[in-house]
Every structure is written in C-alpha cells, then in structure tokens.
Amino acid sequence: MGLALVIVYFVATFFQVWMATRWDDREPSDAIVVLGAAQYNGTPSPALRGRLDHAYDLWEAKISQLVVLTGSKQSGDRFTEAYAGFQYLLDRGIPEPSLLVVDDGTSTWESVAATARVLRPRGLTNVTLVSDPFHSFRLVGIADEAGLTAEVSPTDASVTIGQVAREWMIVSVGRIVGYQRVVRWFE
C-alpha cells in the first residue's frame, strides 16, 4: 500500500508539472517579476531576452506598471542579470520608475525570496512571475513559501522532457522538505 501511494504521488506530481507548462495568467497584479537568466557583459542571453520581451508585452498590456528584474551575477561578471534586464527594458521604453532591480539571489528560491522582502513592505504581494514554461509549477510553490501570491505567465520557449523531468524531481522533493532546502541539491 505504501509503495502504491509513493508511485501515485510521483505520477501525479509529474502530471502537475507537465500541465503547468501550459499555464498563462494575464490578470492584473502588483508586479511583474522576471526571473534571471544568463547575461553576457550586460547583454541578455536569448533565454533572458525572451523573458524580458514577454515582461515588456505584459507591461504594455497593463498587467502591472511595475517590473521587477531579478538575478545576481556569476564570478567574474561585471553586470548582474537584473541590471542587464533593467537596461534592456529601459532601452525598450519602460520608464525607470516602473523598473525595480532585485539582484540578491543566485537561485530561483533566493531571487523570489529577495523579491518578497522588497515588495511586502510596500504592500505588494500579488505577482506575475515570468520565466520559461517548465518552471511554472515550482515558481508558484516557491512564491507561496516566500509569502507572495503568484500566477505565472511564461515565455513561449519550447519545453523538453528533460526539463520537465528535472522540475518533477525538484517539485517532488521540494513539496515535502521545502524549496529552500532543495536549492542546495538541484540549483
């Protein structure tokens, strides 16, 4: 009986992660939060550019007038992912008061938690998270753990079974022990 429950849990979790790749909520929120990805000397990588362009579209659609850029930098980098995103969206025409840089965090959990620490004192807790589709289910769980109410609006990036399988493992463990602990093992 116990083994059957474990199997059902893992199968159900895989299905939830896979179905979440199709989520796309575009309801108004307090802030659009862009999860970081690589940048090269201040130039967003294709993955980060896709997230930034999607956030720009959400901002233009008036989902929120505040866009939060997240992401730290790797050793040797001159710029953070958040700053590269800030400059990119500024160049696209979003005014500086509508952009907020939160560059504390080298993982998804740390970036979302840092964002929550910045937004909550401002009375902002309802966010739209922008990342790649395979992150969607975990992002909502991390946001909940960090004290934010979140929906996701992912990019239109393609999803591979490998990405979903990795997320499935992270979510399967993270829902039991907490996403903050899982960061050390998977990110």
Q: Which two tokens stand for residue 109?
A: 């959990």
For the chain, the structural domain boundaries read: 23-159
Does 185 have pLDDT greater than 80? no
Between 2-20 and 136-146, two packed helices, what is the crossing angle to 10 degrees? 100
pLDDT digits (tens, 9 = 90+) for 40-98: 999 999 999 999 999 999 999 999 999 999 999 888 889 999 999 999 999 999 999 99
Average pLDDT over residues 123-148: 97
pLDDT at 33: 98
pLDDT at 186: 67
pLDDT digits (tens, 9 = 90+) for 100-118: 999 988 899 999 999 999 9
Q: Which of 2, 14, 12 is nearest to 161 (CA)?
A: 14
Mean pLDDT of all residues belonging to the chain: 94
Instruction: Report d(CA 72, CA 83) in Å as an integer.
Output: 9
pLDDT band at 1 (very low <50, low <70, confident <90, very high): confident
Instruction: Report d(CA 91, CA 88) in Å as an integer.
Output: 5
Q: Which of 131, 170, 179 is nearest to 152 (CA)?
A: 131
Q: Higher confidence at residue 148 or residue 182?
A: 148
Identify whether the C-beta of residue 89 lies closer than 8 Å to the C-beta of residue 69: yes
Q: What is the pTM of this model?
A: 0.93
Q: Which CATH class is domain 23-159?
A: alpha beta
